[in-house]
Amino acid sequence: MPDYRVPVRDMKFVREEVLDFPGLWQRLPGCEEVTAELASAIYEAVAKLCEEVLAPLWRSGDEEGCTWNPEGVRTPEGFKEAYARYVEGGWPALTGPVDYGGQGLPPSLESVLNEFVGTANWAWSMYPFLAKGGRLTVTAHGDEELKRQYLAKLISGEWTATMCLTEAHAGTDLGILRTKAEPDPDGSYRITGTKIFISSGEHDLVDNILHIVLARLPDAPPGTKGISLFLVPKRLPDAEGNAGAPNGVSCGSIEHKMGIHGNATAVLNFEDARGFLLGEPNRGLNAMFTFMNIARIGTAVQGVAHAELALQGAARYARERLQMRAAKGPANPEGPADPIIVHPDVRRMLLTIKAFAEGTRLLIQSLAYEVDLSYLAADVEERQRAEDLLALLTPVAKGFCTELGFEAASLGIQVFGGHGYIREWGMEQNLRDARIGMIYEGTNGIQAIDLLGRKVLGSGGEMLAPWLRRIADFCRDCAGEAEMAAFVEPLAALVKEWEQLTRDIGARTRKDADEMGAAAFDYLMYAGYVSLAYLWARAARVAQRALAAEDADAEFYRAKLQTADFYYRKILPRTRTLVAGIDSGAEPLMGMAAEAFLLE
Amino acid sequence: MPDYRVPVRDMKFVREEVLDFPGLWQRLPGCEEVTAELASAIYEAVAKLCEEVLAPLWRSGDEEGCTWNPEGVRTPEGFKEAYARYVEGGWPALTGPVDYGGQGLPPSLESVLNEFVGTANWAWSMYPFLAKGGRLTVTAHGDEELKRQYLAKLISGEWTATMCLTEAHAGTDLGILRTKAEPDPDGSYRITGTKIFISSGEHDLVDNILHIVLARLPDAPPGTKGISLFLVPKRLPDAEGNAGAPNGVSCGSIEHKMGIHGNATAVLNFEDARGFLLGEPNRGLNAMFTFMNIARIGTAVQGVAHAELALQGAARYARERLQMRAAKGPANPEGPADPIIVHPDVRRMLLTIKAFAEGTRLLIQSLAYEVDLSYLAADVEERQRAEDLLALLTPVAKGFCTELGFEAASLGIQVFGGHGYIREWGMEQNLRDARIGMIYEGTNGIQAIDLLGRKVLGSGGEMLAPWLRRIADFCRDCAGEAEMAAFVEPLAALVKEWEQLTRDIGARTRKDADEMGAAAFDYLMYAGYVSLAYLWARAARVAQRALAAEDADAEFYRAKLQTADFYYRKILPRTRTLVAGIDSGAEPLMGMAAEAFLLE
Looking at the partner chain, which of B5, B9, B172 has a beta carbon nearest the beta carbon of A417? B172
Query: What pTM, to 2 d.p., does this model score?
Result: 0.98
Q: In this predicted model, what pLDDT tens digit does every residue of A559-575 receive, in sequence order? A: 999 999 999 999 999 99
Check if the beta carbon of residue B518 is closer than 8 Å to that of residue A348.
yes
Residues 6+ apart with CB under 8 A from A410: A431, B406, B435
N-terminal to C-terminal alpha carbon distance within chain B? 45
Check if the beta carbon of residue A262 is closer than 8 Å to that of residue A124.
yes
B222 touching chain A per CB within 8 A? no
Q: Considering only residues 279 to 338 of chain A, which have any Cβ-Cβ distance to chain B shorter than 8 Å? A: 311-312, 315-316, 318-319, 322-324, 327-328, 336-337
Half-sphere exposure of A426 (CA within 13 A, CB side): 22
Burial state string for A206-226 with b = 16 or more CB within 10 A and e = fewer than 16: bebbbbbbbbbbeebeeebeb
Q: Distance between CA B327 and CA A509 in Å, rounded?
A: 10
- CA–CA distance from A455 to each of A68, A299, B231 (Å)? 41, 20, 66
Q: Does A596 sit within 8 Å of B562, measured CB to CB?
A: yes
Looking at the partner chain, which of A414, A577, A592 has a beta carbon nearest the beta carbon of B573? A577
**Testing the interface with B: which of A419, A509, A566, A598 to mutate, by most B Cβ within 10 A?**
A598
Amino acid identity, position A134:
G
Looking at the partner chain, which of A170, A354, A521 has a beta carbon nearest the beta carbon of B597? A354
Burial state string for B473-512 with b = 16 or more CB within 10 A and e = fewer than 16: ebbeebeeeeebeebbebbbebbeebeebbebbbebbeee
Residues 6+ apart with CB under 8 A from A550: none
Check if the beta carbon of residue B183 is closer than 8 Å to that of residue B108.
no
Percentage helix, strand, coil, to 5, in chain B? Answer: 60, 10, 25
Tell me how close the Cα of A436 comes to any Cα of chain B, in angstroms.
7
Question: How many beta-carbon pairs below 8 A join chains A and B?
Answer: 285
Looking at the partner chain, which of B173, B344, B588 has a beta carbon nearest the beta carbon of A517? B344
Contacts of A352 in chain B (CB under 8 A): none
- Give the SS3 label for residue A328: coil
ipTM over the 0.90 cut-off: yes
Q: Distance between CA A430 and CA A123 in Å, rounded?
A: 11
- Give the SS3 label for residue A354: helix
A5 touching chain B per CB within 8 A? yes
A589 touching chain B per CB within 8 A? yes
Region for residue A265 given its phi and psi (left: phi exceeds 0; alpha: psi -120 to 50; beta: otherwise): beta
Encode chain B (600 residues) as per-residue pLDDT tens digits.
679 999 999 999 999 999 999 999 999 999 999 999 999 999 999 999 999 999 999 999 999 999 999 999 999 999 999 999 999 999 999 999 999 999 999 999 999 999 999 999 999 999 999 999 999 999 999 999 999 999 999 999 999 999 999 999 999 999 999 999 999 999 999 999 999 999 999 999 999 999 999 999 999 999 999 999 999 999 999 999 999 999 999 999 999 999 999 999 999 999 999 999 999 999 999 988 878 888 899 999 999 999 999 999 999 999 999 999 999 999 999 999 999 999 999 999 999 999 999 999 999 999 999 999 999 999 999 999 999 999 999 999 999 999 999 999 999 999 999 999 999 999 999 999 999 999 999 999 999 999 999 999 999 999 999 999 999 999 999 999 999 999 999 999 999 999 999 999 999 999 999 999 999 999 999 999 999 999 999 999 999 999 999 999 999 999 999 999 999 999 999 999 999 999 999 999 999 999 999 998
Q: Does B323 sit within 8 Å of A559, measured CB to CB?
A: no
B199's enclosing H/E stretch is strand B189-199
B358: nearest Cα among A592, A103, A210, A129: A592
Looking at the partner chain, which of B319, B418, B518 has a beta carbon nearest the beta carbon of A197? B418
Q: Considering only residues 524 to 583 of chain B, which have any Cβ-Cβ distance to chain A shorter than 8 Å? A: 555-556, 558-559, 562-563, 565-566, 569-570, 573-574, 576-577, 580-581
**Testing the interface with B: which of A165, A338, A348, A565 to mutate, by most B Cβ within 10 A?**
A348
What DSSP state is assigned to residue B334?
T
Residues 6+ apart with CB under 8 A from B198: B162, B163, B164, B166, B211, B265, B266, B267, B268
Q: What sections of B91-221 are H helices per DSSP?
A: 109-120, 122-141, 144-146, 152-156
Strands B189-199 and B180-183, sheet pairing: antiparallel
Q: Does A421 sit within 8 Å of B258, measured CB to CB?
A: yes
A315: nearest Cα among A353, A343, A361, A345: A353
- For residue B84, count other CB atoms closer than 10 A to its CB: 14
- For residue B252, count other CB atoms closer than 10 A to its CB: 15
Check if the beta carbon of residue A559 is closer than 8 Å to that of residue A496.
no
Contacts of B174 in chain A (CB under 8 A): none
Residue ranges of chain A with pLDDT lower than 70?
Answer: none
- CA–CA distance from B291 to each of A138, A579, B131, B226, B412 (Å)? 64, 43, 10, 18, 32
Q: Does B432 sit within 8 Å of A432, measured CB to CB?
A: yes
- Give the SS3 label for residue A160: strand
Q: Distance between CA B158 and CA A130 in Å, rounded?
A: 56
Region for residue A78 given its phi and psi (left: phi exceeds 0; alpha: psi -120 to 50; beta: otherwise): left
- Give the SS3 label for residue A39: helix
Q: Does A173 sit within 8 Å of B323, measured CB to CB?
A: yes
Q: CA quadruple B497, B498, B500, B505: dihedral positive or negative?
A: positive
CA-nearest residue of chain B to A434?
Answer: B421
A239 touching chain B per CB within 8 A? no
Check if the beta carbon of residue A415 is closer than 8 Å to that of residue A349.
yes
Q: Distance between CA B527 and CA B529 in Å, rounded?
A: 6
For this structure, is B441 an active site residue?
yes
Q: CA quadruple B546, B551, B556, B561: dihedral positive or negative?
A: positive
CA-nearest residue of chain A to B10?
Answer: A599
Q: Distance between CA B173 and CA A317 in Å, rounded?
A: 16
Query: Which residue out of B387, B441, B481, B489 is catalytically annotated?
Result: B441
Residues 6+ apart with CB under 8 A from B552: none
Q: What per-residue confidence (pLDDT) applies to B522?
A: 98
Cross-strand partners of B182: B190
Three-state DSSP string of A243-312:
EEEECCEEEEEECCECCCCCCCEEEEEEEEEEEEEECCCCCHHHHHHHHHHHHHHHHHHHHHHHHHHHHH
Q: Distance between CA A236 and CA A407 in Å, rounded?
A: 44
Q: Does B596 sit within 8 Å of A559, measured CB to CB?
A: yes
Q: Distance between CA B326 and CA B332 in Å, rounded?
A: 9
Q: Does B258 sit within 8 Å of A598, measured CB to CB?
A: no
Residues 6+ apart with CB under 8 A from B103: B90, B93, B94, B95, B96
Q: Does A598 sit within 8 Å of B588, measured CB to CB?
A: no
In terms of Cβ atoms closer than 10 Å to its own Cβ (0-12, 13-18, 19+), residue A589 is: buried
Contacts of A172 in chain B (CB under 8 A): 323-324, 417
**Testing the interface with B: which of A353, A570, A571 to mutate, by most B Cβ within 10 A?**
A570
What is the tally of helices (H) and strands (E) in chain B?
Answer: 20, 11
Query: What is the DSSP code string of B471-520?
Result: HHHHHHHTTT-GGGHHHHHHHHHHHHHHHHHHHHHHHHHHH-THHHHHHH
Q: Distance between CA A516 and CA A585 in Å, rounded?
A: 9
Query: Which residue out of A441, A483, A515, A600 is catalytically annotated?
Result: A441
Describe the crossing of helices A284-320 and A109-120 by its angle, rounded to 10 degrees. Answer: 50
Contacts of A563 in chain B (CB under 8 A): 592
Q: Distance between CA B130 and CA A49 in Å, rounded?
A: 48
Describe the crossing of helices A122-141 and A109-120 by its angle, rounded to 10 degrees. Answer: 150
Q: What per-residue confidence (pLDDT) applies to B274?
A: 98
What DSSP state is assigned to residue A401?
H
Contacts of A566 in chain B (CB under 8 A): 588-589
Contacts of B517 in chain A (CB under 8 A): 327, 343-345
Q: Distance between CA B114 and CA B95 in Å, rounded?
A: 12
Widest distance between CA atoms in chain A = 84
